[in-house]
Structure 1
Amino acid sequence: MDRILLWALLIIGMVLLLFSLRKPLIKDTVLVYLLKAYFSSFFGVIVAGAHLIEYPVRFLGQYFNTSILFEYFLYPIMCVYFYQTSYHSSILGIIVQCALYTSALTILEVLCEKYTDLIEYHGWTWEYSFITIFLLSFFVRMLMKLINKREQSAS
């Protein structure tokens, strides 16, 4: 059943990725996606390597100790949508949207931890996930704001 859920999440992620690429700002979309994948994989390796989180059922489990589906695909896609919906937002709007997206991901993670073998916490809690996801998402969003500001001033 867990493998079916992984495949369903992969298909949902592919559909969401295709829809996200239909919007303008393709350069920004790709940059947000790659930055998020880079940073989340960095932290994911540390957390999984320290055995704070375990992923008993995962794609390419013989090669990776982390959830590559989440770190390289689903989380970056979520951040693309966060970026696109908060593009014209004030700092307060960005914070609120970041909290909402982070809450949704954290709730899904808690449900997966409780009802599936996709994730197991060992010295990790949903609070750590919320804080980490929020800070990483907010950091990349602010980094993109800075990049765009510098790009506009150079033009």
Structure 2
Amino acid sequence: MRENLVIFFSKGVLATLVDAYVVGTKKIEYPVRPLGKIFKTNIIYDMLFFPLLSVIWVKMSYNDNLGKILLKSLVFSVPMSIGQWYFERNSRLFKWKKWTPVHTFGSVSFTLFTIRGLVGLIKKVDKIKSNQNITE
């Protein structure tokens, strides 16, 4: 449970920071967004949807080797890239100004692997702690 919370909240922070940068540099614009007077990003996507997907992805790849992790990352990053491309063309939810599906693929992959690396680090620290408790 602790790892799920770490994944969820750290992904929310990371996604919000990346999105704030992208919106601030005018690569993407969100004309329709929740709490539009307060946030320039889509805060529901950044703080709820994307973190939930990350928890699922990390749990799916928790005990996998690097090759399987890479393949499973494609299950998330490719559909998200295609989905965002479709919605950018067919809705008014967001506008790509200096952005493409390749950018989406890269940013989704970057954030997934960053969070997966954090979880790997937590696993190693927990293992070291449990080994220290055994020897004491």
| TM-score after normalising by structure 1 | 0.81
Q: Report 1:21-40 matches (<5 A).
A: 26-40=1-15
Asked if 2 retains the 8 angstrom alpha-carbon contact of 1:86 and 1:97, the reply is yes
Q: Does the alignment pair 1:140 with 2:122?
A: no
- SS of the equivalent of 1:89 reads coil
1:91 is aligned, of 66, 82, 102, to: 66
Q: Does the alignment pair 1:62 with 2:13?
A: no
Q: Does the alignment pair 1:50 with 2:60?
A: no
Q: Which runs of 4+ in 1 moved over 4 A?
A: none
- CA deviations on 1:9-45 (whole Å, 9 max, x unpaired) are xxxxxxxxxxxxxxxxx11111101110011101111
Amino acid at match of 1:131: G
| TM-score after normalising by structure 2 | 0.92
Matches of 1:124 and 1:100, distance apart in 2:
21
Matches of 2:107 and 2:75, distance apart in 1:
14
1:100 corresponds to: 75
Identity of aligned residues (%): 25
1:117 corresponds to: 92
Report the Cα offset of residue 151 of structure 1: 0.8
Q: CA RMSD in A?
A: 0.9
Structure 1: gaps of 5 or more residues: 1-25
Report the Cα offset of residue 82 of structure 1: 0.2
Aligned length in residues: 130
1:20 corresponds to: none
- CA deviations on 1:101-121 (whole Å, 9 max, x unpaired) are 111221221121011101110
Report the Cα offset of residue 124 of structure 1: 1.0
Matches of 1:89 and 1:107, distance apart in 2:
26
- CA deviations on 1:116-139 (whole Å, 9 max, x unpaired) are 101110011111111011011011
Asked if 2 retains the 8 angstrom alpha-carbon contact of 1:98 and 1:137, the reply is yes
Q: Which of these two proteins has the greater Rg computed from alpha carbons? A: 2
Matches of 1:68 and 1:119, distance apart in 2:
13
Structure 2: gaps of 5 or more residues: 131-136
